[in-house]
Amino acid sequence: MSDALEELLVVNDVPLAHILSGRLRAEGIDARLFDAGFAGLLGGGFPGIRLMVPTAQLARARWLLDLPDSEAGN
């Protein structure tokens, strides 16, 4: 059974979102981008691309991207 996904952060830059998710995937974290297609189509009028990771891998993903807890999702 797969783990539930949790929002790691929201990115407003499509290429940056892909770089960050690739960095996490290279480290074995099942990172997924939500809303990336819409952000590319709508440009700056879209609220952002959600970088999602399994809950069990959230702390490690924060550490790998050097994110403070306050910048992470909920």
Token reading at 35: 């809303």
Which residues share a beta bridge with 6?
53
pTM given for the model: 0.76
Q: What is the pLDDT of residue 36?
A: 73
Counting the structural domains of the chain, the total is 1
Residue 53 pLDDT exceeds 90:
yes
**26-43 pLDDT, tens per residue?**
999 999 999 876 555 555
Evaluate whether residue 26 is within a structural domain.
yes
Domain that holds residue 58: 5-68
Evaluate whether residue 18 is within a structural domain.
yes
**Residue 67 near residue 31 (C-beta atoms within 8 A):** no
**For residues 37 and 29, what is the distance between their CA atoms, to the nearest angstrom?**
21
Average pLDDT, the chain: 82
Evaluate whether residue 74 is within a structural domain.
no
**6-23 pLDDT, tens per residue?**
999 998 888 899 999 999
Evaluate whether residue 73 is within a structural domain.
no
